[in-house]
Amino acid sequence: MVGRDTQGVRDLLEGTWKPMLALGLPLLVGTVILADPLMLALFGAEFGDAGAVLKILILGSLPLLWIYIPNQALLAADLVFPLARVYGLSVLVNVIVNFFLIPRWGSVGAAVSTVICEWLNLALVVGMIRREFGLSLSCEGLWRYILAAVMMSVGVWLSRDQGLAIEILIGIAAYVCGLLLLGYLRSADMLTVRRLLTQ
């Protein structure tokens, strides 16, 4: 596909990053808000302090989502070795940063190092796809996701002390309703998703 239709690949890359944000942002925000009760519910009081680590690690969820499709495009473009160098550099940076952070901060330092490397991977891969495919990323419509995430946060805060399951359900409902009220189904992002799904 890459060799035959660079424009098609560019359209795919430009058209999917905001839908990935729509999926990843509520996961990120919700986990940051509910990390402590979530860890208590899943693993008990002895792991209560792990909520702080989870709050940091979840910050790496967006680059993990965003990087998947660009990775596949670069592999299809036969850029395996440049991509391998990116991840090799990331491993090296991870080791070096861990060397400094773990003695001071322990597991929190390791989590910070992991998140730094996830964002480093994303930055380097985005640079590669910009050079390879002439990628341009539009920020149009991002306000919709941000406002929906704010609405979700308010919903979770208002439902505090109602139990973790209720808070999660209200958060999901608030985010989805927020997107609908803000016109997501009529947005250019949704039209792009529909067009890509029909190809």
For residue 135, what pLDDT is reported? 83
Cβ atoms of residues 41 and 50 within 8 Å:
no
For residue 37, what pLDDT is reported? 93
Cβ atoms within 10 Å, residue 189: 23
pLDDT at 90 over 90: yes
What percentage of the chain has pLDDT greater than the value 70?
97
pTM: 0.88
Confidence of residue 14 (pLDDT cuts 50, 70, 90): confident
Paired tokens of 168: 């999660």
Confidence of residue 138 (pLDDT cuts 50, 70, 90): confident
Cβ atoms of residues 129 and 135 within 8 Å:
yes
pLDDT at 76 over 80: yes
Q: Which amino acid is at 102?
A: I
pLDDT at 143 over 90: yes
Please state the rounded mean pLDDT for residues 116-129. 96
For residue 1, what pLDDT is reported? 47
Q: Under 8 Å CB-to-CB from 199, ≥6 apart: which residues?
A: none
The overall average pLDDT reported for the chain is 91
Q: Which residue has the higher pLDDT, 193 or 36?
A: 36
d(CA 129, CA 10): 9
Q: Under 8 Å CB-to-CB from 153, ≥6 apart: which residues?
A: 29, 33, 171
Cβ atoms of residues 153 and 33 within 8 Å:
yes
